[in-house]
Chain A
Amino acid sequence: MAASAANSGRFQQTRYDVNFDQQLPGMETLGGAAYACLDTKDPSNAVYAIVPKDGAAFRHRVLQHMMGRTVPHVICPLQVTPVEIEGGGWVQAVIVPFPSGGPLWRPGPQARFSESELRFDVLPDIVAGLQALDTHDLAHRSIRPDHLHYADAAKTTVTLCECFSELPGQSQPLAFEPIERALAHPAGRGSGTSVDDMFALGVTILSLLTGHIPCEGMSEHDIMASRIARGSYSTYIRDVAPRGAFGALLRGLLCDDPLQRWTMEKLRRWLDGFMPGDPMAVQNYITASHYRFQSRNYTNRRLLAQALHGHFEAAIGELANPSFQGWIRSAVKDEVGSAVVEKTFDHGSRERAALRLNGGTLSKVIQLLDHEGPIRFRSLCYMLDGLNGFVAHAMATQNATAIRDLEDFFNNGFARDAAILAAGDSTRLRRIAMESPEIERHTATRAFGSGMHHVLYALNRALLCQSPLLEHCHVANLPQLLVALEMLAGERADRELLIDEHIAAFASARWSDCMGLVNDLAKNDHRPLEKALLTMKLYGLAQLQFEVGPLPGLCRHFAGKVRGAVKGLHHGRTAELMTRKIDTLMATGDLLRFHDELNFFNVRARDRERYLMARDYLSEIERRLGAIERGFKPTDPVAAHLGQRIAVGAAYLTVLVTALVTAFPGS
């Protein structure tokens, strides 16, 4: 990163001056680096800047809803602004109020909060913040003790940290995520709801009370095994269970059943001094009989689902096992699940060959066993509302296995079934599940600008363009893309064509009007000239649509590409005229005008037509020249014949003259 921000006038000057020399490790997240920032208009206004890390996807919906708003006790983004850096590029910085009071909690025995401190000083603020988020239908998904800060230097107000700069729940320790989301890949834990925040709040309260994070020192596998088998509350409360009001609060918040977990309403009532009842202990995942898989007996559907996913290929063969089919019929009791089981294993007893022994069926079975859990297929493991983050992470880390599995999952139509099962009765999740066919449509096309690249940008609306061409520029929208490309084109004239799969997918996902042009680009991927001209048209249309100013660098870039083709014209004078036209149009900086007035394809077609005609005419001339006989002799048949005719004519003329002389002798 450059030493300091510079301003060359490419963007409007903002009031915030980001100091890239001064990083703020305490405010850094998995998705964004934090830098000190000065509000030049009001230096007393403490702010800092968050700059997205490579490949990190910010939470678009959170940014969209919270930008510029004042949500009490939650840090809200003030402004998203491109900040120019030394070396010519720029970064996309989100300016955020800085919590001047510092962190609320640091791990250690002295960091324990008393019940009264928590009840009267800390929790009211946090609950107010969460309730404000809930009114916007947003979940924070990053609640943990070290994400709580004092908003002011006097340490009178507690605030939640910002929640847009990393994927929901991505950096959360396993203990802070509800079981179903903890089972998913960290990048695919999903945006979730306030119910998930309630669980994280419960663990946070427990941490603040005890001074340490629950299950510290335990391996992730042991934590999850214990939580699934014994329940989260029992796993976390190992020594002495809090009694009284806080005991009830923790039992309510740490309930593993999302339907039984305390809601915001109950939490508010608790703060008001009421005591909502304890959640009912429902053993949703315990089965009456065990099933033996991979030399181990399972009486917990969730654990079996985990085991099946862990041994995915072996588990596919297990589907044909009649005892498994019988067991799952008895294990899955809910109405929808039973219907799906019957439909899936309908042929099992009669015609085994008709049963589809594939990953899709296994994925469905896993979903039936753990209906609240993540969608699981080979290396995939994501919550339905966490697909966007999972795709972003897979693409950013270039995880070829995950990308291949995603393509297989969608192309074979497995994702659609799994999504419907995972959505259950939730309207929000059903709406997400309905996007599966659209994703399938894109993954099925592996053309330029389509495929997983398009899915990546379509699902992550706030993701910056990940093109390697734009490594020094954070491109968040089409106008910025054009500015970045103009900068690149101006740097060096001999660049390769300034478009790649990321740019094409980014453009078509962010600006649906150009989808047709991107499809044309895909068809002409292996024709350099056609690709160059279509790219010029695409950028020209974007330049017109988004009212970006003249782009002389890009015009020069495309002129360089077209000049080679102009040299290929057959007619030298036409090529010369075209070169002059290119020089004239290039100076305008107007890409669309350049493309339309050059009209190169028509010129080339006409040149070709005229060339073929000229060639035909030349060969006809040469044929005729070759056919002309020279050096005739009187004895040649042609000359002899013609000579005879001349003689005949002369003879008849002689007769005529003689006759005239004879008839009129005196005249």
Chain B
Amino acid sequence: MTMPRAATPANARKGRGTFWIFIILASCFLVFLMPAMFALVLVGMVPTWIAGFVERHGVGRVQVTAALNFAGVLPFMAQLWVADGSLRELMRLAGSVYTWAVVYGSASAAIAYLWIGPHLAAMYLDFKAARYTHFYEKQKATLLADWGDALGPEKPRNGKVERG
């Protein structure tokens, strides 16, 4: 059974580079066009920035954190977008505890995701191993039923002529 290979440091470096290029481009776009939106993202995505800075072993966990963090920020970005990115709306949102609870709560859900994921994976791998084992055992049983004990140590090449 072929198992997936873990991310190598080279892959991780490459992923991280792409991630930061994306962030810089988005920041440039937002800082000039929608400064309120930029501020919301800058502050709301702090867990992601921290994860991005501290993570040294691939981008997997950063991706999970970033995705869930973004899922928490996304509804408020929508509200800000509907309010044409006004600073008043930003201040209203910033003044609500609910906003920060949602934003950082969703980011913290990454911990749960990253904890449950390996458990699910272990269960899946065990299930798959059991399925393969069953299949090969069945094949082996069929072979042994057909050939009997002959598949043990090899018999002599020439059967001896029966003497009487």
Q: Which of B70, B121, B144, B161 contacts A643 (CB 8 A)?
A: B121
Q: Which of B1, B151, B158 contacts A627 (CB 8 A)?
A: B1
A7 to chain B, nearest CB (A): 32
A335 located at the interface, meaning its Cβ lies under 8 Å from any Cβ of chain B in the complex: no
Closest A-chain residue to B5, C-beta based? A641
B150 located at the interface, meaning its Cβ lies under 8 Å from any Cβ of chain A in the complex: yes
Of the candidate stretches A313-321, A590-598, A615-623, the one touching chain B is A615-623
B32 located at the interface, meaning its Cβ lies under 8 Å from any Cβ of chain A in the complex: no
Establish whether residues A568 and B129, one from each chain, have CB atoms under 8 Å apart when the complex forms. no
Of the candidate stretches B20-28, B34-42, B84-92, B133-141, the one touching chain A is B133-141
A561 located at the interface, meaning its Cβ lies under 8 Å from any Cβ of chain B in the complex: yes
Establish whether residues A494 and B151, one from each chain, have CB atoms under 8 Å apart when the complex forms. no
B152 to chain A, nearest CB (A): 10
Complex CA gap A655/B48 in Å reads 14
Please, which residues of chain A bring their CB within 8 A of the CB of B113? 647, 650-651
Establish whether residues A494 and B161, one from each chain, have CB atoms under 8 Å apart when the complex forms. no
What are 7 sample pairs from A and B whose C-beta atoms fall under 8 A apart? A560-B164, A611-B151, A628-B133, A647-B114, A648-B63, A651-B66, A662-B74
A635 located at the interface, meaning its Cβ lies under 8 Å from any Cβ of chain B in the complex: yes
Establish whether residues A655 and B60, one from each chain, have CB atoms under 8 Å apart when the complex forms. no
Establish whether residues B61 and A652, one from each chain, have CB atoms under 8 Å apart when the complex forms. no
Please, which residues of chain A bring their CB within 8 A of the CB of B157? 608
B45 located at the interface, meaning its Cβ lies under 8 Å from any Cβ of chain A in the complex: no
Establish whether residues B60 and A496, one from each chain, have CB atoms under 8 Å apart when the complex forms. no
Establish whether residues B151 and A529, one from each chain, have CB atoms under 8 Å apart when the complex forms. no
B23 to chain A, nearest CB (A): 16
Closest B-chain residue to A493, C-beta based? B164
A339 located at the interface, meaning its Cβ lies under 8 Å from any Cβ of chain B in the complex: no
Establish whether residues A560 and B75, one from each chain, have CB atoms under 8 Å apart when the complex forms. no
Establish whether residues B159 and A567, one from each chain, have CB atoms under 8 Å apart when the complex forms. yes
Establish whether residues A621 and B126, one from each chain, have CB atoms under 8 Å apart when the complex forms. no
B143 located at the interface, meaning its Cβ lies under 8 Å from any Cβ of chain A in the complex: yes
Q: Which of A564, A618, A628, A639 contacts B118 (CB 8 A)?
A: A639
Q: Total A-B pairs in contact (CB under 8 Å)? A: 194
Establish whether residues B122 and A647, one from each chain, have CB atoms under 8 Å apart when the complex forms. no
For the complex with contacts A642-B117, A648-B60, A662-B74, 6 further pairs of A-B residues with Cβ separation under 8 Å are A496-B163, A614-B143, A639-B121, A643-B122, A647-B113, A652-B67
Closest B-chain residue to A568, C-beta based? B159
Please, which residues of chain A bring their CB within 8 A of the CB of B68? 651, 654-655
Most chain B beta-carbon neighbours within 10 Å: one of A569, A614, A615, A641: A641
Establish whether residues B136 and A624, one from each chain, have CB atoms under 8 Å apart when the complex forms. yes
In A512-531, the 8 Å CB interface with B consists of 527-529
Establish whether residues A566 and B67, one from each chain, have CB atoms under 8 Å apart when the complex forms. no
Establish whether residues B164 and A643, one from each chain, have CB atoms under 8 Å apart when the complex forms. no
Complex CA gap A643/B122 in Å reads 8
Establish whether residues B67 and A648, one from each chain, have CB atoms under 8 Å apart when the complex forms. yes
Establish whether residues B67 and A655, one from each chain, have CB atoms under 8 Å apart when the complex forms. yes
Q: Which of B122, B155, B159 contacts A566 (CB 8 A)?
A: B159
Establish whether residues A647 and B155, one from each chain, have CB atoms under 8 Å apart when the complex forms. no
B31 located at the interface, meaning its Cβ lies under 8 Å from any Cβ of chain A in the complex: no
A632 located at the interface, meaning its Cβ lies under 8 Å from any Cβ of chain B in the complex: yes
- Per CB-CB distance, the 7 closest pairs between chain A and chain B, nearest first, are A568-B159, A564-B162, A494-B164, A643-B118, A643-B117, A634-B118, A647-B117
Most chain B beta-carbon neighbours within 10 Å: one of A528, A631, A646: A646
Please, which residues of chain A bring their CB within 8 A of the CB of B147? 570-572, 611, 614
Given A651-B68, A662-B74: A618 and B121 within 8 A (CB)?
A: no
A565 located at the interface, meaning its Cβ lies under 8 Å from any Cβ of chain B in the complex: yes
Establish whether residues B143 and A618, one from each chain, have CB atoms under 8 Å apart when the complex forms. yes
A659 located at the interface, meaning its Cβ lies under 8 Å from any Cβ of chain B in the complex: yes
Please, which residues of chain B bring their CB within 8 A of the CB of A634? 118-119, 121-122
Complex CA gap A638/B125 in Å reads 9
Please, which residues of chain A bring their CB within 8 A of the CB of B158? 527, 529, 565, 568
A625 located at the interface, meaning its Cβ lies under 8 Å from any Cβ of chain B in the complex: yes
A453 to chain B, nearest CB (A): 23
Q: Which of A560, A625, A661 contacts B136 (CB 8 A)?
A: A625
Please, which residues of chain B bring their CB within 8 A of the CB of A632? 121-123, 125-126, 129
B156 located at the interface, meaning its Cβ lies under 8 Å from any Cβ of chain A in the complex: yes
B99 to chain A, nearest CB (A): 14
A497 located at the interface, meaning its Cβ lies under 8 Å from any Cβ of chain B in the complex: yes
Closest B-chain residue to A631, C-beta based? B126
Establish whether residues B160 and A572, one from each chain, have CB atoms under 8 Å apart when the complex forms. no
Establish whether residues B118 and A642, one from each chain, have CB atoms under 8 Å apart when the complex forms. yes
B119 to chain A, nearest CB (A): 5
A587 located at the interface, meaning its Cβ lies under 8 Å from any Cβ of chain B in the complex: no
Instruction: Give per-residue flags for B92-125: 1 if the beta carbon is below 8 A from chain A beta carbons, else 0.
Output: 0000000000000000011001101111111111
Establish whether residues B124 and A642, one from each chain, have CB atoms under 8 Å apart when the complex forms. yes
A658 to chain B, nearest CB (A): 4
Establish whether residues A647 and B60, one from each chain, have CB atoms under 8 Å apart when the complex forms. yes
Establish whether residues B118 and A645, one from each chain, have CB atoms under 8 Å apart when the complex forms. no
Given A568-B156, A651-B64, A651-B67: A561 and B117 within 8 A (CB)?
A: no
Closest B-chain residue to A663, C-beta based? B78
Complex CA gap A13/B138 in Å reads 69
Establish whether residues B120 and A621, one from each chain, have CB atoms under 8 Å apart when the complex forms. no
Instruction: Give per-residue flags for A561-581: 1 if the beta carbon is below 8 A from chain B beta carbons, else 0.
Output: 111111111111100000000
A647 to chain B, nearest CB (A): 4
Closest B-chain residue to A564, C-beta based? B162
Instruction: Give per-residue flags for A544-567: 1 if the beta carbon is below 8 A from chain B beta carbons, else 0.
Output: 000000000000000011111111
A553 to chain B, nearest CB (A): 15
Establish whether residues B75 and A630, one from each chain, have CB atoms under 8 Å apart when the complex forms. no
Closest A-chain residue to B147, C-beta based? A614
Complex CA gap A495/B162 in Å reads 10
